[in-house]
């Protein structure tokens, strides 16, 4: 009897590894959430069923950066708003960013159609290798998570994009073309945002020829950095008050550009309270990551965020995570360290981050906390 129970548990564990989408479409999950996905009571979203289905409570009006004004007469005001957003919230929304609506709509559409493929098609890209140029998986870190998240993902490396595209899914037939175009546009927007953020930090002033050369060299380092695209799928959940699409966490990189469909779910923690981020059509939510907090020596703060699920609709989001090259060291900018503002963080790199998340179950901003100097 005991042996049978153990075998049943092992079989279910193997099924969990195939992803929550597989469990729902195969009828394994119907009206109840398996205990593998049930969070301890203190970690559950503090909302009723109705509030999760129609997330209207505790909305937050994030700063909105109108990118069209960044090169006009209102540039100084836009930069002030950008600096305030990075300091006080660690997150903002960007409108009039220059990326065509068709590119955005195609990206959301092709992402939905990928997750609608038969499981065997999606399973071709399952891998535990975190350096793989394409990786399909589930939860947050399925190798370490004690409780699984209600989420499947497809991660795509975009470094040397022409070299990695052949490894990306070829189905749907327009997947590679739509995703490559979107990734390139997202990278271009990231660079424009980075230049503006560096200017708000006082790093990009170009008062003489030497400083202009230094500015170009600094931007080149960011341009040659890493980009990871993450397509997230959150199926409708029969008991959304018991689980999360993603647990509270901060992003490890410099900036994350997030594209959402119209379904609410993203929440940020601000002043100790969870707030729902309202999707603005054709806009981007931009998160400050741990690396930017380190680079700014703590002036700008990475944002703690999580994802709710609901009982009536699935949700799609596409995250484009950007940082320096994986081999580069991230450290506080020397220009932001002085007697009044001493160095607050250790050097770090991507290998250190991977070693950390591979050795433990990530929680909150624990990795960033591990890099702080006492």
Name which residue leads in pLDDT, 95 or 353.
95
In the sheet with 246-249, reading across from the earlier edge strand, the strands are: 59-60, 273-277, 266-270, 305-307, 246-249
Which residue, 283, 254, 248, is CA-closest to 266?
248
Q: What pLDDT is attached to residue 31?
A: 86
Domains (ranges, CATH) in the chain?
7-371 (2.60.120.330)
d(CA 265, CA 123): 26
Longest dimension (CA), the chain: 79
146-170 mean pLDDT: 94
d(CA 116, CA 114): 5
d(CA 162, CA 128): 23
pLDDT band at 229; cut points 50, 70, 90: very high
Read off the pLDDT of residues 29-79 as tens digits, 9 standing for 90 and up: 888 999 999 999 999 997 654 445 454 456 778 899 999 888 778 899 999
133-146 mean pLDDT: 87
Tell me phi and psi for residue 333, to 5 degrees: -65, 130
pLDDT band at 360; cut points 50, 70, 90: low
d(CA 84, CA 96): 19
Q: What token pair was written down for 200?
A: 């708000």
Q: What pLDDT is attached to residue 56?
A: 47
Whether the predicted pLDDT of 216 surpasses 80: no
Name which residue leads in pLDDT, 349 or 124.
124
pLDDT band at 156; cut points 50, 70, 90: very high
Q: What pTM does this model have?
A: 0.91
């Amino acid at each position: 009897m005991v042996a049978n129970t153990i075998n049943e548990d092992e079989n279910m564990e193997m099924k969990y590894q195939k992803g929550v989408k597989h469990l729902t479409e195969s009828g394994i999950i119907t009206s109840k959430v398996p205990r593998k996905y049930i969070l301890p009571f203190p970690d559950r979203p503090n909302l009723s069923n109705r509030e999760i289905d129609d997330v209207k409570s505790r909305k937050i009006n994030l700063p909105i950066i109108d990118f069209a004004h960044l090169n006009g007469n209102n540039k100084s005001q836009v930069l002030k708003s950008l600096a305030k957003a990075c300091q006080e919230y660690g997150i903002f929304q960007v409108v009039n960013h220059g990326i065509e609506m068709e590119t955005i709509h195609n990206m959301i559409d092709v992402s939905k159609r990928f997750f609608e493929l038969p499981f065997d098609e999606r399973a071709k890209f399952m891998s535990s290798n975190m350096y793989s140029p394409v990786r399909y998986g589930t939860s947050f870190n399925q190798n370490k998570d004690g409780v699984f998240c209600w989420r499947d993902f497809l991660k795509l490396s975009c470094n040397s994009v022409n070299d990695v595209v052949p490894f990306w899914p070829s189905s749907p037939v327009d997947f590679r073309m739509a995703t490559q175009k979107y990734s390139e546009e997202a990278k271009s927007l990231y660079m424009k945002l980075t230049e503006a953020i560096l200017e708000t930090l006082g790093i990009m002033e170009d008062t003489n020829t030497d400083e202009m050369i230094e500015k170009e060299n600094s931007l080149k380092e960011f341009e040659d950095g890493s980009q990871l695209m993450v397509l997230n799928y959150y199926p409708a959940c029969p008991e959304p008050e018991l689980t999360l699409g993603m647990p509270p966490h901060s992003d490890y990189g410099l900036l994350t550009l997030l594209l959402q469909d119209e379904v609410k779910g993203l929440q940020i923690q601000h002043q100790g309270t969870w707030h729902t981020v309202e999707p603005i059509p054709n806009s981007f939510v931009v998160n400050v990551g741990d690396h930017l907090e380190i680079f700014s020596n703590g002036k700008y703060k990475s944002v703690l965020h999580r994802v709710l699920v609901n009982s009536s609709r699935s949700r799609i989001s596409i995250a484009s995570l950007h940082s320096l090259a994986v081999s580069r060291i991230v450290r506080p900018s020397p220009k932001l360290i002085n007697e009044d503002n001493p160095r607050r963080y250790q050097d770090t790199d991507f290998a250190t981050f991977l070693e950390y998340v591979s050795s433990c179950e990530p929680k909150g901003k624990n990795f960033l906390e591990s890099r702080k100097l006492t």
